[in-house]
Amino acid sequence: MPRPVLVIACGAIARELVRIRDMNGWDHIEFQCLPAELHNTPEKIPAAVRAKIEAEGSHFKKIFVAYADCGTGGLLDKALEEYGIERIPGAHCYEFYAGSEAFHELADAEPGSFYLTDFLVRHFERLVIRGLGLDRRPQLMPVYFGNYKRVVYLAQTESQKLQSMAMKHADFLGLEYCYQYHGDQPLSLLLKPALEKDEAWQN
């Protein structure tokens, strides 16, 4: 018998999704996460999501995709339209972590902002330094970051350890540092319409 709801998620937001599920009592939801490294090659995201849908679709009554567009240039939406599956609205995770209004205010105030989340702070060396090859070719730093003015840490938790790490990352990039705590509420509000319990899923 098909299970209620599968959320196909980016591995970079897994902790937040589990917290939100537990906070809301959404015990009808299961998560399957794709590698966060896909963000370095966003053109591969639609195919990876499609493969997961094809593999798991018959096992669940509903599938939801916990990705924003994430640099796919609309290709993810085209793939999801074939299945009638929804995703989190927005262009990228920074928007749904901060909330659309707050994010656009930040972007308008300083377009040259490089954003960090809790996940990116933890995995900065793997995803940014090594992922972009800066450990092997430090001369690429101005190519990647020459047009940025500041690092904006959009925090999901109030961890002092992560704040200290984020400041060090900003120093490494030679950019100003800005901290903003948003917690899980903006993402939770976006997920509720799609993931609140529906009696039809329980039958």
Q: Is 56 exposed, middle or buried (0-12, 13-18, 19+ CB in 10 A)?
A: middle
Instruction: Tell me the whole-structure pTM to 2 decimals.
Output: 0.87
Round to whole Å and give the CA distance between 66 and 68.
Answer: 7
Q: Mean pLDDT over residues 103-116, rounded? A: 96
Q: Mean pLDDT over residues 60-64, rounded? A: 95
pLDDT of residue 105: 95
pLDDT, the chain, mean: 93
3-state secondary structure of 159: coil
Query: Are the beta carbons of 28 and 85 closer than 8 angstroms?
Result: no
Q: Mean pLDDT over residues 129-150, rounded? A: 95
Is domain 3-92+185-202 classified as CATH 1.10.357.10?
no
Amino acid at 101: E
Core vs surface per residue 65-94: b (16+ CB within 10 A) or e: bbbbbbbbeeebeebbeeeebebbebebbb
Domain ranges of the chain: 3-92+185-202, 100-181
For residue 109, give Cα distances in angstroms to 34, 82, 113, 146, 196: 33, 38, 9, 18, 35
Round to whole Å and give the CA distance between 169 and 155.
Answer: 14
pLDDT of residue 198: 66
